[in-house]
Amino acid sequence: MVDVCMVSVAKGRQQKIEHDECRHSGDISCVQPSYKQVEDFLLQADNLCIKRKQRFTDLRKQVLSLICRSEQPLGAYALLDLMKDAGRSAAPPTVYRALDFLQEQGFVHRLASNNTYLACAHPQQQHEAVFLVCKQCGATQELHTDGIYKAVESRAKKVSFKVEHASVEVVGLCAHCRAA
Amino acid sequence: MVDVCMVSVAKGRQQKIEHDECRHSGDISCVQPSYKQVEDFLLQADNLCIKRKQRFTDLRKQVLSLICRSEQPLGAYALLDLMKDAGRSAAPPTVYRALDFLQEQGFVHRLASNNTYLACAHPQQQHEAVFLVCKQCGATQELHTDGIYKAVESRAKKVSFKVEHASVEVVGLCAHCRAA
DNA sequence: ATATATAATGTTACATTATAACATTACATT
DNA sequence: AATGTAATGTTATAATGTAACATTATATAT
């Protein structure tokens, strides 16, 4: 099994590359896995759980799968609805616990600006990310760029603040919606 | 009336400077107004409202005042409690509308990471800010630094994303809590 | 294999955050 | 004073999230 990283290498075009190749440089934009890549993504999560001695249960797999297949980040209650549609009706704590697990494993991110969850483009490693949230269509891109976090770290250091988690959420218009 | 900008020029020390002097360079950290500066802050907001032909009503003034006087960012329901304590009992829509107004005028910021509101260190001008939220004591600093936003803009531009609002919220430990 | 401990999930109830919709009051302008 | 608009009051409810405890599934040791 090879780690898989979904990247968009040019406008709209997506390419699956191996983890070793993915250096998170400033020149690629990492995005949510496309529908066809979901299976790879779930397999990868599965392998990471084995490696980390974590249990990738049916519930967790289902929640992650639903998030992956969504075009947009999903809220907890939207997930509950989708689970009901899929024949598994659950109460809020169930989905919140699954989401907590998936976040701890780095498989999903939570967007504080709109209370939603989306699949992480790079489950292999811990990282910070920048999210570009289109206020029109809701589509959200995950960018990786050292520059922003280095700037944050540097500023925090000046006031002796110990950074644990930096969340950068950018609301605006995506390329597609700008054109339309 | 002179625009007033609250800055911390060294560890813990605060100084009130005139707006013209405040260039938001990377070397100063802008913080919430201290208790003694609240009156100046409210006066400043009042003047800005006059200039902008906006109504700085009692309600809005009271909400802003409570936020200013708080050591920490306040949630909407904490504000409601404080208003009740002050003899004005209000329902949620009342305080949310006041908060909307204060945000529109740039007098307060909302922190999405913990659903709270805090006074803006620079009500004079529209700006983006970085918030350092101490997860222990809740104290929150507002930093201004072009570097981070330039980095965000630059990365967004590469994917043709039009930035409207960038929120940077950093959770960690403040200098004080690290020492203790 | 069975007992035991632990982790995960189910379930109920409720806490917290936020808004819709409509009534009333205050204010600005004529 | 009449009128229109903005602000606030009020009621009800939506949306988001969690505490507490019961049950089920899994891992580990015996």
The DSSP string of B6-54 is EEEEETTEEEEEEGGG----TT-EE-PPPGGGHHHHHHHHHHHHHHHT-
Residue contacts between A and B (CB atoms, under 8 Å): 127
Within residues 78-107 of protein chain A, the ones with CB less than 7 A from nucleic strand D are 78, 91-93, 96
Q: What is the CATH number of the domain that holds B161?
A: 1.10.10.10
Strand D: which bases are under 7 Å from protein Cβ?
6-13, 15-20, 26-27
Q: What average pLDDT is seen over chain A? A: 82
Residue A125, helix vs strand vs coil: coil
Higher pLDDT, A45 or B33: A45
Per-residue pLDDT, B75: 98
Per-residue pLDDT, B35: 55
Per-residue pLDDT, A37: 78
Per-residue pLDDT, B147: 83
Cα–Cα distance for residue pair A68/A80, rounded to 1 Å: 15
Distance B105 CA to D9 C1' (A): 23
Interval B112-129 mean pLDDT: 86
Confidence of residue B6 (pLDDT cuts 50, 70, 90): very low
Strand C: which bases are under 7 Å from protein Cβ?
7-13, 16-21, 27-28
Residue B129, helix vs strand vs coil: coil
Interval B110-120 mean pLDDT: 96
Cα–Cα distance for residue pair B56/B60, rounded to 1 Å: 6
User: In this model, does residue A54 exceed pLDDT 90?
Assistant: yes
Please give the order of strands across the beta sheet that includes A4-10: A13-18, A4-10, A29-30
User: In this model, does residue A73 exceed pLDDT 80?
Assistant: yes
User: In this model, does residue B60 exceed pLDDT 90?
Assistant: yes
Asked if the C-beta of A151 comes within 8 angstroms of chain B's C-beta atoms, the answer is: yes
Residue B107, helix vs strand vs coil: coil
Asked if the C-beta of B9 comes within 8 angstroms of chain A's C-beta atoms, the answer is: no
Task: Verify whether the Cβ–Cβ distance A161 to B175 is below 8 Å.
Answer: yes
Q: Which residues in chain A have Cβ-Cβ distances shorter than 8 Å to B151?
A: 145, 147-148, 151
Task: Verify whether the Cβ–Cβ distance B155 to A130 is below 8 Å.
Answer: yes
Interval B108-122 mean pLDDT: 94
C12: residue with closest CA to C1':
A91
Per-residue pLDDT, A35: 54
Q: Which of A29, A137, A148 to mutate to test the interface with B (most CBs of B within 10 A)?
A: A148
Q: Which residues in chain A have Cβ-Cβ distances shorter than 8 Å to B152?
A: 130, 148, 168, 170
Q: Which residues in chain B have Cβ-Cβ distances shorter than 8 Å to A158?
A: 26-27, 29
Per-residue pLDDT, B14: 42
DSSP notation for B132-178: EEETTT--EEEE--HHHHHHHHHHHHHTT-EEEEEEEEEEEE-HHHH
Interval A106-118 mean pLDDT: 96
Per-residue pLDDT, A123: 78
Q: Which residues between 23 and 42 in chain B have a beta carbon less than 8 angstroms from any beta carbon of chain A?
A: 26-27, 29
User: In this model, does residue A66 exceed pLDDT 90?
Assistant: yes
Number of domains in chain B: 1
Task: Verify whether the Cβ–Cβ distance B168 to A163 is below 8 Å.
Answer: no
Per-residue pLDDT, B30: 45
**What percent of chain B has pLDDT above 90?**
64
Cα–Cα distance for residue pair B117/B120, rounded to 1 Å: 9
Cβ of A59 near strand D (under 7 Å)? The reply is: no
User: In this model, does residue A132 exceed pLDDT 70?
Assistant: yes
Q: What are phi and psi of A163, to 5 degrees?
A: -75, 130
The boundaries of the domain holding residue A9 are 4-179
Helices A58-69 and A92-104: angle between axes, nearest 10 degrees: 80
Residue pair A87/A94 in contact (Cβ under 8 Å)? The answer is: no
Within residues 131-160 of protein chain A, the ones with CB less than 7 A from nucleic strand C are none
Cβ of B97 near strand D (under 7 Å)? The reply is: yes
